[in-house]
Structure 1
């Protein structure tokens, strides 16, 4: 299955940490999803699309499924972005003001979900999809934090690398294992923010 990040959301556009808050796609994000569907033809064929339950992912998935003429499966809450706790809705500047030194020290606020938690639940979700659709090739619309954590769990921590909108990775499910395959796949060329994000952890 190809797991990709959603299109640009309204909070991506203004650099607010989203976590499990639920802002919608921007017009640019919707356009990205339409172009991603056409690009996906070169990586498929896909049998169905599935997404997290957050509307930026769900809307992206719905656009792609409609463009490709394939089913949009039920949303899965376990594919949702990492909770950012008390940082949800804040910009980097606001975080620095309210939590001085946290970002530079790698500290996180109350309610911030651990890598172990998001790897566990997203792995369970992908395994469920594999069990229910064993012969299918799926396009999964999820979130940057999920994909980063799954990559890190299998490849180790080799430093953060920005994951643009509608960029992702193939994952293979074998028994209990969910492992990345090959290099990242960019379905659109303009998935990067118009202005580079001030913080690598924005989602």
Structure 2
């Protein structure tokens, strides 16, 4: 792996796209590392993401290895005229342990704060997200890379760079992380400019 010092002067963008909707998303179930495929709405959302991404130049598209992310990435790759690149295990969604497949309302009662039940900690999720960014930047220095993965890992990893907790990441939405001399900066989230919370006195 290239060290950060080897690519720190490279200008690049990472476009994070949450996979399209699945049946479990629609039903409000925790799906985490379970391999649930897209539904028709999810495929349409992947196609819609092409319109947002099409305003910039992308060199490659990579993803989580889970089928909902790979299919989303393939739809986007086809729409942008790119070859589908590799999958990174580091991008897999948060592992919800015993909560996989459980309705979110029930999970909130059984594991308040999503703690316990073998559920992966958010610290672990963010650590994986940051290592994935380092790996992708090392593999594609100076390139603009579209990255298809999952809501929780996108939300909390990008919150690390924003300096505040981002809202829920919508299925099929695009977030842009740009690397410049001073480091990574969040430029877009949920298809819009990021909106920091208003400070109250």
TM-score, length-scaled by structure 1: 0.79
User: Cα 1:135–1:96, aligned 2, differ >3 Å: closer, same or farther?
Assistant: closer
Q: How far has the Cα of 1:157 moved from its partner?
A: 4.5
> Does the Cα contact within 8 Å between 1:166 and 1:186 map onto a contact in 2?
no
1:94 aligned partner: 106
Q: How far has the Cα of 1:107 moved from its partner?
A: 4.9
Of 127-136 and 60-69, deviating more is: 127-136
Q: How far has the Cα of 1:186 moved from its partner?
A: 2.1
Separation in structure 2 between the aligned mates of residue 145 and residue 70 of structure 1, nearest angstrom: 26
List aligned pairs for 1:49-128, cutoff 5 A.
49-95=61-107, 99=110, 102-103=111-112, 106-128=113-135
Q: How far has the Cα of 1:96 moved from its partner?
A: 5.3
- 3-state SS, counterpart of residue 86 of structure 2: coil
1:179 aligned partner: 184
Structure 2: gaps spanning 5 or more residues: 1-13, 193-201
Separation in structure 2 between the aligned mates of residue 180 and residue 154 of structure 1, nearest angstrom: 7
User: Cα 1:131–1:92, aligned 2, differ >3 Å: closer, same or farther?
Assistant: closer
Q: Within the alignment, does 1:40 sit opposite 2:53 as a pair?
A: yes
Number of residue pairs aligned between Structure 1 and Structure 2: 179
- 3-state SS, counterpart of residue 116 of structure 1: helix
User: Cα 1:82–1:179, aligned 2, differ >3 Å: closer, same or farther?
Assistant: farther
> Does the Cα contact within 8 Å between 1:47 and 1:137 map onto a contact in 2?
yes
Separation in structure 1 between the aligned mates of residue 183 and residue 156 of structure 2, nearest angstrom: 12
- 3-state SS, counterpart of residue 74 of structure 1: strand
Q: How far has the Cα of 1:163 moved from its partner?
A: 1.3
Runs of 4+, deviation exceeding 4 Å: none
1:165 aligned partner: 171
Separation in structure 2 between the aligned mates of residue 29 and residue 131 of structure 1, nearest angstrom: 30
Residue 153 (structure 2) aligned to one of 139, 143, 146:
146
Separation in structure 2 between the aligned mates of residue 86 and residue 178 of structure 1, nearest angstrom: 38
Structure 1: gaps spanning 5 or more residues: 188-203
- Could you say what the CA RMSD is over the residues aligned between the two structures, in angstroms? 2.3
